[in-house]
Structure 1
Amino acid sequence: MLLGIIGSFLPVLPGPITSWFGFLLLYFSPLIELSKKFLIITLIIAIIIWVLDYFIPALGTKKFGGSKSGMIGTIIGLFVGLFSPIPGGIIIGPFVGALIGELLNKSDTKTAMRAAFGSFLGFLTSTFIKFLVATIYFGLYISILWDHKTVFFNG
């Protein structure tokens, strides 16, 4: 669960999905009864957040006046930044991708910078959403363990 919270900030770990594996462990534990419905709903939420994480920066680009080229540049920059050895590549990649996409689209520098800033805000938004969901999952995990404390601590 804690890895999920850390994964909200590190691009290597998908935060909510990593947190969800804590629920999966509880589900297979013979000591704790966890419903399959709960497990499926939390998995669907984690997958939706994981997918949105790749599109929110592009939506930020569009919201700040970016074109389709800027949005495509954001997504390409996100993947390049994800796999680049540069520290902070996941933050820099979408910004630079949006900027280059807009400049290739013949946008002026001001419009290109606005679109790039939008991709950065989109990145911050998606990071916050991942952190929020991973923290909620952690709280649910602790709550479930607390409800079953007698199983672990004899009273």
Structure 2
Amino acid sequence: MDVIIWILIIALFILSFVGLLFPILPSALLIVAAFFIYGICFSFSQLTISFWVVESMFIILLFLSDYLANMVGVKRFGGSKAAGWGSTIGLIAGPFIIPFVGIILGPFLGAVAAELLVHRKTFSEAVKVGVGSLLGLLASTVAKGLIQLLMIIHFLYTIF
């Protein structure tokens, strides 16, 4: 039975990394679910208050890195708040509208559309902002992957 539980925990960890490519999967929630499955099936005694405080800080960092990397990427390339929102909307809607490549094209097109429609920038300026959005997305994905890895390492260190 222990093997099945560990397979489930590992599967949740793997799915959390899949969530980096498909934002519809709630990566942080999947990791926390794995922690709870461990606690319910084995013991919560090792998962102390300090463990949960550290993991909560990691979760806050996950959300902040996502938002900040996108906004920095957009701002650095001359974009506005509207482009940041357009990029975020494109990130969420992109995979549904354009399967497979929507995760990349969505934020780009969202930022470009926002700059064209809201701020009436030229097409080349809007594309530049879209590229900034893509770079922000890439930086955010790398940062989130590292933070998720740290969450899992902290968990494993705590229980072993």
Normalised TM-score (structure 1): 0.77
Q: 1:134 aligns with which of 121, 137, 148?
A: 148
Corresponding position of 2:66: 53
Partners of 1:144 and 1:116 lie apart in 2 by 41
Return closer, same or farther for 1:67/1:110 CA change in 2, 3 Å cut-off. same
Partners of 2:92 and 2:37 lie apart in 1 by 31
**Is structure 2 residue 33 aligned with structure 1 residue 13?**
no
Instruction: Kindly state the Cα deviation for residue 82 of structure 1 after the two structures are TM-superposed.
Output: 4.7
Structure 1 gap segments, 5+ residues each: 148-155
Counterpart code for 1:63: R
2:87–2:106 CA contact under 8 A, matched in 1: yes
Instruction: Kindly state the Cα deviation for residue 138 of structure 1 after the two structures are TM-superposed.
Output: 2.3
Corresponding position of 2:38: 26
Instruction: Kindly state the Cα deviation for residue 54 of structure 1 after the two structures are TM-superposed.
Output: 4.5
Corresponding position of 2:5: none
2:21–2:103 CA contact under 8 A, matched in 1: no
Partners of 1:83 and 1:55 lie apart in 2 by 24
Count matched residues: 146
Structure 2 gap segments, 5+ residues each: 1-12
Return closer, same or farther for 1:27/1:67 CA change in 2, 3 Å cut-off. same
Return closer, same or farther for 1:79/1:4 CA change in 2, 3 Å cut-off. closer
Q: 1:123 aligns with which of 137, 141, 154?
A: 137
1:8–1:134 CA contact under 8 A, matched in 2: no
1:75–1:97 CA contact under 8 A, matched in 2: yes
1:7–1:15 CA contact under 8 A, matched in 2: yes
Q: 1:71 aligns with which of 84, 89, 92?
A: 84
Percent of residue pairs bearing the same amino acid type: 31
2:46–2:158 CA contact under 8 A, matched in 1: no
Instruction: Kindly state the Cα deviation for residue 131 of structure 1 after the two structures are TM-superposed.
Output: 0.7
